[in-house]
Amino acid sequence: KVAEGSASLEEAVHDNPNITISMTADDFDAMMSGKLNATSAFMAGKLKVKGDMSLAMKLQGLLG
């Protein structure tokens, strides 16, 4: 969930998500600690995006 400038993770099923982002837990930890850049992760296939790519670009600031 993204709201008011912050993000939280929750396991859930949504009938019609705007975007789905998937990656390993290790890669997520590396991104959150600044060791892995979101763009680099995407280009290397470590971060996968399904859905609205323009929304994914807006999330880049939160993901690192």
Beta-bridged to residue 49, according to DSSP, are 21
17-58 per-position pLDDT tens digit: 888 889 999 998 998 888 999 899 999 999 999 999 988 888
Q: What is the DSSP letter of 23?
A: -
What is the reported pLDDT for 43? 94
pLDDT value of position 32: 86
Q: Identify each DSSP E strand in the chain by its residue range.
A: 2-3, 6-7, 19-22, 48-51
Give the domains, in start order, of the chain with CATH numbers.
Answer: 2-63 (3.30.1050.10)
- Is the pLDDT assigned to residue 64 strictly greater than 70? no
Q: What single string gives the DSSP state of each residue in 4-46?
A: TTEE-------SS-SEEEE--HHHHHHHHTTSS-HHHHHHTTS
Whether pLDDT at 59 is above 90? no
Query: Quick one: pLDDT band at residue 63, thresholds 50, 70, 90?
Result: low
Checking if the pLDDT of 5 tops 80, the result is no
In whole angstroms, give the CA distance from residue 64 to residue 58. 11
